[in-house]
Amino acid sequence: MRTLLLVTIGFFGGVWLCTASFAADEELIILDWSAYNDPGFYQGYIEKHGDEPTFSFFGEEEEAFQKLRVGFAADISHPCSQSVSKWHEAGLLDPLQTERIERWDQLNETMKEAFKIDGEYYLLPADWGTTAIAYRTDLVPEEDIQSLQVFIDPKYAGKTSIADNVDDAYALAYLATGVSDWSTVTQEDLERASAWLREAHKNVRDYWQDGAGLSQLMASGEVVISWAWNETPTVMQAEGHPVVMNRSTVEGSSTWFCGYVDVANGPNPDDKVYDFFNAWLEPRAVEYIVNEWGYGHGNQAEMDKIDPQILEDVGLGGIDVPVLAQKPMSHEIREQMIAEFELIKAGF
């Protein structure tokens, strides 16, 4: 992945802090998760325009939401399912012009219909994956990772990592406290999950912000157990590291899906927005994200062509334990989760 130039534009003590790539097409600006500027996802865009889009990055969806709300200029962004309704209600999204999306009919029906609002669609399903225990097989006995309670086992003090992401962190905590459907959580469920996360915090070496950072921690042995996206074991195994994922703990694991949105009042015309969308949906982009990242793709027609054994190998196969789907949930509960998670990370 090419080197990025850094620019200060964000909010820290009154200033927003972002990273952006200026050696790129400034007529398409994408506010995205770190590392999603991987050209393997949008080769068709590069072939048509001779350059990559300009990317700025966020580490967590609430950060992206706040940036856009105060006027950060972007044409496209990349929220996950639990955030889309909030962004829509805040007036941050334009409806998709589905007639300009060449493979619209190939998309996963459940994912795209989830955000059909008043007859219009607001999310282009792009990627999905699983979150579960990843661990160093040479440093952790297999019997230790059969339950999510390993995250609060004093034996692993200073040796665990959890995503610096409120949704993944609480997916772990809800599962660990017996909840596998967070769309119906109560105040008591939230309090139990928060108390469990406070216990887990005592063992945390670091809250990882992207797969590359987590891979470094696990490769060095600083972290031996993590609540990780299935990208991590896929990439680390390819690099020769003894890291595997267990999605079948007694309490279960989690799934998530995200997509691209057309940001309202973007600084550039929509033509390149739809060129980017169409490039993301090409068959080669589907093959790339599965084989190189271990993630699923929103183009279901192309996903159906992939060997089921490959999907099983990268952590996308079916399992017989509870699965907490990170689908839309109560805005009130999620706002409390955001506030609590910041306190927990700070040690309160």
Predicted pLDDT of residue 25: 82
Q: Are residues 213 and 327 in the same domain?
A: yes
Q: Are residues 42 and 76 in the same domain?
A: yes
Residue 220 located in a structural domain: yes
Predicted pLDDT of residue 23: 46
Residue 27 located in a structural domain: yes
Q: Are residues 203 and 116 in the same domain?
A: no
CA nearest to 253, candidates 348, 134, 160, 88: 134
Q: Are residues 141 and 230 in the same domain?
A: yes
Residue 1 located in a structural domain: no
Domain that holds residue 245: 130-255+317-345
- How far, rounded to the nearest angstrom, does the alpha carbon of residue 204 sit from its chain's CA centroid? 20
Residue 69 located in a structural domain: yes
Token pair 């915090």: residue: 201
Q: Are residues 138 and 217 in the same domain?
A: yes
Side chain identity at 118, as an amino acid letter? D
Predicted pLDDT of residue 4: 30
Q: Are residues 214 and 250 in the same domain?
A: yes
Predicted pLDDT of residue 34: 87
Residue 87 located in a structural domain: yes
Residue 324 located in a structural domain: yes
Q: Which residues of the chain have pLDDT under 70?
A: 1-23
Q: What CATH code is carried by the domain that includes residue 188?
A: 3.40.190.10
Q: Are residues 201 and 341 in the same domain?
A: yes
Q: Are residues 179 and 52 in the same domain?
A: no
- How far, rounded to the nearest angstrom, does the alpha carbon of residue 188 sit from its chain's CA centroid? 27
Which residues 6+ apart lie within 8 Å of 219 measured at CB? 236, 239, 241
How many domains are there within the chain?
2
List residues bridging with 94 in a β-sheet: 262
Q: Are residues 47 and 80 in the same domain?
A: yes
CA nearest to 305, candidates 296, 318, 315: 296
Token pair 């493979």: residue: 103
Q: Are residues 74 and 204 in the same domain?
A: no
Cβ contacts of 60-64, under 8 Å, gap ≥ 24: 60/164, 60/165, 60/166, 60/209, 61/165, 61/167, 62/166, 62/338, 64/31
List residues bridging with 20 in a β-sheet: 56
Predicted pLDDT of residue 11: 32
> What is the pTM assigned to this prediction?
0.85
Q: Are residues 222 and 328 in the same domain?
A: yes
Q: Are residues 283 and 178 in the same domain?
A: no
